[in-house]
């Protein structure tokens, strides 16, 4: 088994969280999970801290890169348990400024990881603090077998495609559709090269990719699927923390 690395994305502005009393202009990844949930230092455990702890529990993950807003390292450090910055800590935690979009932030992180030469990389939304160890383990096993994998949550309601006229254009079979979650995992050299190609296309066509699996799918090939879990939900609005 080759070396593993992880990327946790926390470089966005959390604009949809910055409303009302709960948001208060604070990045969602830096908010506490709850008043009674504490980290090892007795401080409130943050959304980002919980995401980091989930991946750091796997000894095969040797390096974790966290994307953060440019100039935001002091605030990011405050949101992460202090023990992760001990000089001898494994995995090594690296903070990397993100870009204007999630995809460009991931590309920055992948480019930074190139010097570490991992065999595989897991890419996770920092706003998914309830990711389970079992799910991470399944994704790792799948990427080592198939070179690309993601968790897919089955839909409970029937999706419809809407046309430009506002009417239903297509009735989609629910059994064949799912909602993508993270972590998504990939063979490292290929996903880095795919992001290079994606950056070129975005610059040329003003195209925007929705996730890393789409980038892999366009430039590398198929992505294997493991079953997602409902608790691995993403925090988007203030009420998602309640």
Residues 24-53, buried b or exposed e (16+ Cβ, 10 A)?
eebbbbbbbbeeeeebeeeebbbbbbbbbb
Instruction: Report the alpha-carbon distance of residue 37 to residue 225 in Å, rounded.
Output: 32
What pLDDT score was predicted for residue 52? Answer: 97
Can you give the pLDDT at residue 35?
Answer: 82
- pLDDT at position 86: 86
Two tokens, residue 15: 């604009």
CB 89: neighbour CB atoms within 10 A? 11
| Phi, psi (degrees; rounded to nearest 5) at 150 | -150, 155
**Can you give the pLDDT at residue 81?**
93
Q: Report pLDDT for 25.
A: 60
CA pair distance 85, 64, nearest whole angstrom:
12
Residue written as tokens 């080592």? 144
**List of E strands, 10-125:** 61-68, 92-97, 120-125
Beta strands 168-171; 160-162: pairing state = antiparallel
Residue 87's pLDDT is what?
Answer: 81
Note if the pTM is more than 0.95: no
Q: If DSSP codes are grouped into helix, strand and coil, which group holds residue 201?
A: helix
CA-based nearest residue to 124, from 213, 34, 18, 215: 213
Residue 190 is predicted with a pLDDT of: 98
242 residues of the chain, pLDDT tens digit each: 579 999 999 987 555 555 444 445 678 999 999 888 988 888 999 999 999 999 999 999 999 999 999 999 999 999 999 999 988 888 999 999 999 999 999 999 999 999 999 999 999 999 999 999 999 999 999 999 999 999 999 998 999 999 999 999 999 988 889 999 999 999 999 999 999 999 999 989 989 999 999 999 999 999 999 999 999 999 988 788 76
3-state DSSP assignment of residue 167: coil
pLDDT score for 21: 45
**Tokens standing for residue 69:** 């807003």
């Amino acid at each position: 088994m080759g070396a593993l690395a992880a990327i946790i994305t926390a470089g966005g502005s959390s604009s949809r969280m910055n409303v009302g009393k709960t948001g208060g202009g604070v990045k969602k990844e830096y908010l506490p999970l709850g008043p009674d949930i504490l980290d090892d230092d007795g401080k409130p455990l943050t959304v980002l801290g919980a995401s980091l702890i989930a991946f750091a529990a796997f000894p095969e993950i040797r390096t974790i890169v966290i994307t953060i807003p440019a100039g935001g390292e002091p605030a990011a450090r405050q949101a992460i348990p202090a023990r992760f910055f001990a000089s001898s800590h494994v995995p090594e935690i690296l903070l990397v400024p993100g870009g204007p979009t999630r995809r460009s932030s991931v590309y920055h992180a992948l480019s930074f990881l190139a010097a570490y030469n991992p065999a595989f990389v897991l890419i996770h939304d920092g706003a998914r603090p309830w990711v389970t160890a079992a799910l991470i383990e399944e994704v790792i096993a799948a990427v080592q077998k198939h070179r690309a994998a993601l968790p897919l949550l089955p839909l409970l309601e029937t999706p419809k495609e809407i046309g430009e006229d506002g009417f239903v254009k297509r009735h989609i079979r629910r059994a064949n559709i799912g909602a993508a979650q993270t972590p998504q995992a990939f063979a490292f050299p290929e996903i880095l090269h795919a992001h290079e190609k994606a950056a070129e296309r975005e610059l040329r066509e003003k195209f925007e990719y929705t996730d890393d699996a789409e980038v892999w799918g366009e430039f590398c090939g198929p992505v294997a699927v493991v079953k997602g879990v409902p608790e691995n939900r993403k925090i988007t609005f203030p009420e998602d923390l309640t």
